[in-house]
A = this chain, B = another copy of it.
């Protein structure tokens, strides 16, 4: 199992997400338990929701203790290098962007392997990536991450669609994986850099 690239992606994405959750928790002067709790929810929330929606049991982190170790590693890493990860705005953005890119692909692949339609699978990929952050934001009374001004969840959905298209036409997992990850990271970083937003739903008067 250790050699499976999806498994390594999942552990790596979990590590990045735990860091992002621990930063969010630490900001509010929570104690280390509350901060760890938020890091945990952030890291497992999206994948758990995906598996619950798909009825896929057991949940990954209940079945495999390495997920918890990845989260623990992310929390300890954040604690040790707090100033480094928190104050460098670009560093935080990078951790979060890598996390959502990896989780989008992991979630899309998992959904496909469970036999759902590609359009639902793309949504599940996006859910895997963003819902942990949404739950984190609801718990800490932030505006949920999906409503951030700069393109965010839509980048994940776009990446999932690219993954599914490449997988359909080329049937090479490494190409699909690499290109779709790059697509998500690129869209998100360019959107933040140039403050790109999608059009508002409500028409301007």
A residues sitting closer than 8 Å to B (CB atoms) are 22, 25-37, 48, 52-55, 57-59, 62, 65, 68, 79, 82, 116-117, 119-120, 134, 138-139, 141, 143-144, 146-147, 153-154, 197-203
Contacts and interface: CB of A to CB of B under 8 A. Distances in A.
Contacts of A138: 138-139
Given A53-B48, A147-B28, A79 B201 contact: yes
Contacts of A117: 65
Given A30-B147, A31-B199, A32-B200, 13 more contacts: A29-B202, A33-B153, A33-B154, A36-B201, A37-B146, A37-B153, A48-B53, A65-B117, A65-B120, A79-B201, A139-B144, A139-B146, A141-B143
A140 to B, nearest CB: 8
A119 B201 contact: no
Contacts of A53: 48, 52, 59, 62
Contacts of A201: 22, 25-26, 30-32, 34-36, 79
A173 to B, nearest CB: 24
Q: How many copies of the shown chain assemble into the complex? A: 3
B65 A54 contact: no
B31 A198 contact: yes
B199 A32 contact: yes
Nearest to A75: B201
A120 B32 contact: no
B68 A119 contact: yes
A62 B144 contact: no
Given A141-B143, A143-B141, A147-B28, A62 B200 contact: no
